[in-house]
Amino acid sequence: MGIFDIFKKKNKSSIILSPTNGEILELSYVPDEVFSNKIMGDGFAIKSNDGVIVSPVDATVEMIFDTKHAMGLKTDDGLELLIHLGIDTVNLKGEGFEIFTNVGDKVKAGDKIMKMDVDFIKNNATSDISPIIFTSLEDGQSVKIVTGAVEAKEENRIEIVK
């Protein structure tokens, strides 16, 4: 980073918002080795208080699982994210989830895209901790987070660093 880089405005597409009211956690807290060991990529986890999930970025909806527990987003500059609500929630066959968008839709950071019934998930799945994975990071890139309590749409809590 050059000395004058500190004066540059952040590229809007690089701003990543907190996707829910609740808590941001390290991936190591996810009770599934595929996520906690970063096999699918780096990211962070959320524990939602109200189950409402907003898009963390401006993106196109690339994929929605039939079981409504997961969604893939892609930004215009190629950043790909997987939002996976809860652990072992695929077994719920869509029960406890709502989707507010469709494949191909353009969403803005902060748009409501998904919802999970937190109590139902806690009682019927392995965990309500939800990993959010950046599946297309370049070599040397990683995800830096500020853990702890968070409100939806908060900035400066999630950042991709090189």
Q: How far apart are CA 106 and CA 23, in angstroms?
A: 26
| CATH of region 15-161 | 2.70.70.10
Task: Report pLDDT for 42.
Answer: 97
Tokens coding 90: 């695929």
Q: Are strands 112-116 and 52-54 parallel, antiparallel or unpaired?
A: antiparallel
* Annotated catalytic residue within 69, 84, 115, 157: 84
Task: Report pLDDT for 8.
Answer: 43
In a structure prediction context, what are the per-residue pLDDT tens digits for the chain, which is 162 residues long? 454 444 444 444 478 999 999 999 999 999 999 999 999 999 999 999 999 999 999 999 999 999 999 999 999 999 999 999 999 999 999 999 999 999 999 999 999 999 999 999 999 999 999 999 999 999 999 999 999 999 999 999 999 998
Which amino acid, 149? A
CA-to-CA dists, residue 36 to 31, 39, 41, 104, 139, angstroms:
7, 8, 10, 29, 19
84 is catalytic: yes
Task: Report pLDDT for 15.
Answer: 86
- By CB atoms closer than 10 A (0-12, 13-18, 19+), residue 51 is buried
* Domains of the chain, residue spans: 15-161
